[in-house]
Chain A
Amino acid sequence: MSDVIKLKKGLDIRLQGKAETVFAQIPLPELFAIKPSDFKGLTPKMVAKVGDKVQAGSVLFFDKQHPEVKFVSPVGGELVAVNRGDRRVITEIVVKADSKAAPIDFGKSDPAAMSRQQVVDKLLESGAWTYFKQRPYNIVANPTAEPKAIFVSTFDSAPLAPDYDFIVSTNEEFFQKGLDVLSKIAPVYVGTHNNGCSKAFSGAKCEKVTAFEGPHPAGCVGVQINHTNPINAGEKVFTIQPQEVVTIGKLFATGVHDFTRVVVLCGSEMKKRAYVKTILGAQLTTMVNGNLADGHVRLISGNVLTGTQVQPDGYLGYYDSQLTAIPEGDEYEFMGWAAPGFNKFSASRTFFSWLTGKKHEYKLNANTHGELRAFVVSNEMEKVFPMDIYPEHLIKAIMAEDIDKMEQLGIYEVVEEDMALCEFVCTSKIAIQKTLRNGLNLMMKEVG
């Protein structure tokens, strides 16, 4: 019997463009890329060179600070480009797929018969270690760290988020297998949705299964950690997503690092909204060509709250299982502040959209709907932030670069996605996630 935690605070943004739970067939693209910018604070050291032949599972680069953390190619083929951005920072490592190239076989193994170190080594060797993110800071996990727990959230409550019940339904035994592997590293805590989720999730065999109920961010793993086993100063936990658990399960069961990912195409500007099977780091062309509405469209790898803006010829983010298209909204609106606003979504009732009912779905664009101001309105962030932390005071401590206060106010317990809703509702349009990242970077530098 699992515990049920009901969360009241939060906000479900009722966005148009939810995908149906059906699979659409799309061809795989030719190009695949790993973007080092998906890993916070990472400096990549290249191993492979342009022109090298690679297999699925061959090392492309490693982490300069932790050379044992290897990042591998998701497909077999040829390394065709290492694109660089400002100050020659590596932005994309592009591999051209060759369907004939066989993946590397890392060998089947039974986690039950392995030591913790052997499990860690196997994950590092195959590149699957990079799926672990470490909190505080939300960085790629340090292999020498001893986390007190590993957390898996089996549902995503973000707007238009993929349904993991549906995605994992064909791979349930691999999910459990993956949890068995994880349990070798640290006790595993699984968070499930309280309303009828897959047996693989609710019946998962691990340290603890906790059911959550409530609006977004109930599915954010950070919120679940805070309510089950909060991070104290000096402690570390790992987090990992359900599809990655399946991948790890397959790796141990079959010996092959299978980079297949199910991605949901959604958003009001996506014409055909469905789930597609693709491969990690896939170029988006086959998913979006002819599939985007006319006009100025913003394409986001991830969800509208935490995702990264990508170009239609860009690549899927390393940790993303969602591709959202919304209108850019870079147009002026005459006297927008005075309009009744029947079609404007707001957590407050300052627009008459509350008349349209609680079921109405909105087509939101990327407009800021106002200019940057100092903090004025209070208690709007608290309403959407279900943790015992004062969000506004934490952000102010970060702005003042007061390290003691940041620590005392609980910066270790939050990462960007947990506070994304705070940024959404902020009347003063303050960049909460960016500020928080600055704070986390400062803590990493000063405290470690």
Chain B
Amino acid sequence: MNALRNFLDNVKPKFQEGGKFAKFRSTFGAFETFLFTPNETNKCGVHVRDAVDLKRTMIVVVLALMPALFFGMYNTGYQHFRMTGELADVTFWQIFFKGFLAVLPIIVVSYVVGLAIEFASAQMRGHEVNEGFLVSGMLIPLVMPADVPLWMVGVATAFAVIFGKEVYGGTGMNMWNPALLARVFLFFAYPTKMSGETAWYYNYSAEAAVDGFSGATPLAMANAGNYTSFADAFFGLIPGSVGETSAVAILIGAFILLYTGVASWKTMLSVFVGGIAMGWLFNTCADAGWLLDENGVVRENYESVRNLALIPWYNHLVYGGFCFGAVFMATDPVTSARTEGGKFIYGFLIGALAIVIRVLNPGFPEGMMLAILLMNTFAPLIDHFFIQANINRRKKRVTIKA
């Protein structure tokens, strides 16, 4: 390690002000601090500091994403072979390797495009390169369908990083979750590639697919009144975006995030509570005869809404991106409410809105993504009320005394 350190110390002057490569100061800094925690010491204020820094925090999140990633790779292969009808002939490792080959390029594109923009903008501003994209770059592939064209991943990532983050000033300043912004961008720009029955299958083509193959996701199937069982959706060998299908893998990640203290249990819990409450409300309404005419027949054009309202509330939690969004997206501290009380409201509304969008608007099966982005927008407003309450409490103290 000393040799490496000496090498860095030797070339360092070239990257500092006045050096030959001063332009690449941020890039050098990013690599140097990646290899070695800096030797900087506290100059003012406290003399000792907590060992945790943003790099460590982000690495913990990436680590928490690993179960979902590995399961997602396996599931991508599994769904591919299910589509081709070869499932019986392949081994576990063949399945995993197929999925690995499908997902790896998406990860590479996401990181390369995103980090290139991060490095360039850090360079332009003369800042250090921030760690935020370590997580976003991993989240983006996990919310993409397996068959997404790579150029689209690149475009979406570029859009999310530039317009979602850098224009606001970089990590810590953004309004919306960059990974969701990438997904929502593709969802509205290229809807056919992002939803429907075929996007979830790596290398899908009509010829490759086995006869009579149907590739709908649980939510799309629920549209027609077919409900995937809780156990199947919970375990996760179902079609869907790469990382979002398995609640088991996601909950392992949730445990890591909560145990290390990186994510807020308040947000996570209230998203689930909000989802359960709204799902239960729809169940109750539907059981009470909502959208039925006097003869007990479903009103015309409302079949799918009623079918969706009849999804058992517990199934909502494991269908689609609900679980993934609750654990990894809603808890993003930058775009979430930052007051402790606010987190409960923020989380609850995400969960509730996600179900509302899912049920009442069958055209947007992915309610979670829209709900989170909407609440990202309102998070500062929620905080405002909590801060104002604090201010009022302080004012009241004076008037009581007077």
Report A's interface with B, CB cutoff 8 A.
Answer: 13, 15, 159, 230, 232-233, 298, 300, 304-307, 309, 324, 326, 328-338, 341, 344-351, 353, 364-379, 382, 388-390, 392-393, 408-410, 416, 420, 423-429, 431-434
Contacts and interface: CB of A to CB of B under 8 A. Distances in A.
B53 A230 contact: no
Nearest to A349: B260
B284 to A, nearest CB: 35
A335 B48 contact: no
Contacts of A428: 54, 172
Contacts of A306: 46
Given A348-B50, A374-B171, A378-B333, 11 more contacts: A304-B46, A306-B46, A332-B38, A350-B52, A367-B49, A368-B40, A375-B172, A377-B54, A379-B340, A408-B395, A423-B46
Interface of B: 1, 4-5, 33-42, 44-57, 59-60, 128, 130-132, 169-173, 259-262, 264, 333-334, 336, 338-340, 383, 387, 390-391, 393-395, 397-398, 401
B56 A337 contact: yes
Nearest to A324: B47
Given A366-B41, A369-B51, A338 B387 contact: no
B41 A350 contact: no
A208 to B, nearest CB: 16
8 contacts: A233-B398, A367-B40, A373-B171, A374-B172, A377-B54, A377-B333, A410-B390, A423-B45
A390 B42 CA distance: 25
A410 B394 CA distance: 8
Given A374-B172, A375-B172, A346 B51 contact: yes
Contact of A305 (B46, B54, B173, B260): B46
Contacts of A378: 264, 333, 336, 338
A364 B48 contact: yes
Contacts of A377: 54, 57, 262, 333
A372 to B, nearest CB: 8
B260 A331 contact: no
Contacts of B1: 334
Contact of A336 (B36, B41, B333): B36
Contact of B397 (A230, A336, A373): A230
B190 to A, nearest CB: 31
Contacts of B336: 378
A241 B334 CA distance: 40
B62 to A, nearest CB: 11
Contacts of A374: 130, 169-173
B381 to A, nearest CB: 14
A353 B56 CA distance: 14
B54 A424 contact: no
B3 to A, nearest CB: 11
Contact of B48 (A233, A351, A366, A426): A366
B39 A330 contact: yes
Nearest to B170: A374
B51 A351 contact: yes
A334 to B, nearest CB: 5
Contacts of A324: 47
Contacts of A432: 45
A432 B339 CA distance: 18
B50 A346 contact: yes
A371 B34 CA distance: 11
Contacts of B42: 366-368
A388 B56 contact: no
Contacts of A379: 264, 333, 338, 340
A304 B46 CA distance: 6
Contacts of B38: 332, 368, 370-371
Contacts of A345: 50-51
A376 B58 CA distance: 11
Contacts of A338: 59
Contact of B390 (A348, A388, A434): A388
Contacts of B172: 373-376, 428
B37 A369 contact: yes
A378 B4 CA distance: 36
Given A337-B59, A349-B261, A427-B52, A389 B37 contact: no
Nearest to A305: B46
Nearest to B266: A379
A409 B47 contact: no
Nearest to B45: A433
B50 A390 contact: no
B342 to A, nearest CB: 10
Nearest first, the 10 closest Cβ-Cβ pairs linking A and B are A370-B53, A336-B37, A374-B172, A344-B51, A433-B45, A337-B55, A332-B36, A348-B261, A333-B37, A364-B48
A365 B260 CA distance: 23
A394 to B, nearest CB: 10
A427 B52 CA distance: 6
Contact of A332 (B37, B264, B383): B37
A4 B178 CA distance: 48
A334 B333 contact: no
Contacts of B48: 13, 15, 159, 304-305, 326, 364-366, 424
Contacts of B340: 379, 382
Contacts of A351: 51-52, 56
A235 to B, nearest CB: 9
A350 B44 contact: no
A82 B172 CA distance: 47
Nearest to A366: B41
A348 B262 CA distance: 7
Contacts of B333: 376-379
B334 to A, nearest CB: 6
Given A351-B56, A376-B334, A377-B57, A331 B46 contact: no
Nearest to B338: A378
